[in-house]
Structure 1
Amino acid sequence: MSWLRPEAVARLKQWRETMIGTAVTCIGGWIAFTSFGLGVLAGGVIALIGISLIFTGTRHALFRTDTEAPGIVEVTEGRITYLGPLAGGTVALADLREVSFTRTHDGNAFWRLTSHEPQPLIIPAGASGVDVLLDTFTALPQFDTGLMVRAVQSRTPTARTIWHHPAHARTLKPLT
């Protein structure tokens, strides 16, 4: 029997990395302010580690969704793989040309990864392990994580292009 409601437990799990970062920052600050010499330096380093945990934890918490979908997402040696019950595939991070996020009218959400292959890789946003995409996509040149988090958090049915490969970006011709 749990003392907390399941919704509260789910929310705490969503923000666990941020809470750990806050605790580490507080411990580091306490060490820095109550010590002398190298203790001040060690406390400052611990506090900086905590601040970085807060930053990455907040990004991950905002990226996570409460929906569930079938399938597993894995990233191994620069390859994104989706293993689904009916479909799946793999795409190399170096081969990506476009990353887009689509939310349908019924609330389902999907990642669409386009490469030189004729078929894009479609990954449901609720698939197990989909949160590794956040860290994976940050390796892409000129990738905007803020745009990605806003797309995931938005409940408006729409398709958004999150990233284009700079060499394959669409260019608009000026009107004359």
Structure 2
Amino acid sequence: MIRPELRQILRRWSEPLSAIGALLVSLWFLTLGGWFFGLIGLGGGFVSLAWLLAAIRRLPFRRDIGGPGVVEIDEGAIRYYGARLLGGEIALRDLSEIRLLPLQGRPHWRLKSTDAQALLIPLDAAGAAGLADAFAALPGIRMGEISAALNHPDAAVRTLWVRPR
């Protein structure tokens, strides 16, 4: 019933649109009057704005699934189950470097651990959108820089984060 192009756009923007909806409900609570509904509206408004900001920052990570493999983030570890022989696991506490690089015409994450092991993950692998939350927990990371790199991919290898010493 819904055109495929519109469905794709709505799926990508579903989280920011939900946050905007929650913000509108919070504003409605503010208009009801009284201190009780005012506090509910104010609190909900702050939570909705924080959610909207986080959703907009995660937006570049949300892509159509087209790459091989599955990404899983569980208990402080990033696991990639590759379609062929590729795959592996890196604990977030052992992560030392994040790079964005093109391989075979597709952008990939290159995650390097402190013991020099590397894990290559396609940006469009299933579950790769969850990497935004995992990366946000790293010390000194600039999510705005990562979002900008994802919005404007190029043919060069880009180092996006190095663990501070």
Band of TM-score, shorter chain: over 0.9
Q: Which sections of structure 2, spanning at least 5 residues, go unmatched?
A: none
Tell me the CA shift for residue 117 of structure 1. Answer: 3.4
| Partners of 1:99 and 1:163 within 8 A in 2 | yes
After the TM superposition, list the runs of 4 or more consecutive aligned residues in structure 1 that deviate by more than 3 angstroms. none
**Residue type at the aligned position of 1:50:** S
| Aligned mates of 1:5, 1:117 — CA distance in 2 | 48
1:44-82 superposed Cα distances (whole Å, 9 cap, x missing partner): 111112112211111222222235101111111111100
Q: For structure 1, list consecutive stretches of 5 or more residues without a partner in the other structure.
A: 168-176
| Greater CA drift, 139-148 or 46-55 | 46-55
Change (3 A) 1:77 1:105: closer
* d(CA) in 2 for partners of 1:160, 1:17: 28
Q: Secondary structure at the match of 1:131?
A: helix
Do residues 99 (structure 1) and 119 (structure 2) align? Answer: no
Contact 1:68-1:127 at 8 Å conserved across structures: yes
Q: Which of the two has higher C-alpha Rg? A: 1
State the secondary structure of the residue aligned to 1:166.
coil
Contact in 2 for aligned 1:20/1:53 (Cα 8 Å): no
Secondary structure of the residue aligned to 1:73 is: strand
Task: Tell me if 1:151 matches 2:149.
Answer: yes
Q: Which residue in the other structure is 1:141 paired with?
A: 139
Of 10, 13, 35, the match for 2:11: 13
**Partners of 1:113 and 1:83 in 2: how far apart?**
14
Please report the RMSD computed on the Cα atoms of aligned residues, expressed in angstroms: 1.4
CA deviation after TM superposition for structure 1 residue 150, in Å: 1.2
Structure 1 residues 155 and 100: CA distance shift in structure 2, 3 A: closer
Q: How does the TM-score come out when normalised to structure 1? A: 0.88
The residue identity in structure 2 corresponding to 1:49 is V
Percentage identity across aligned positions?
A: 31
Task: Report the TM-score, using the length of structure 2 for normalisation.
Answer: 0.93
Aligned residues: 164
Alignment equivalent of 2:117, drawn from 119, 126, 132: 119
* Correspondence for 1:35: 33
**Are the aligned partners of 1:71 and 1:84 in contact in 2 as well (CA < 8 Å)?**
yes
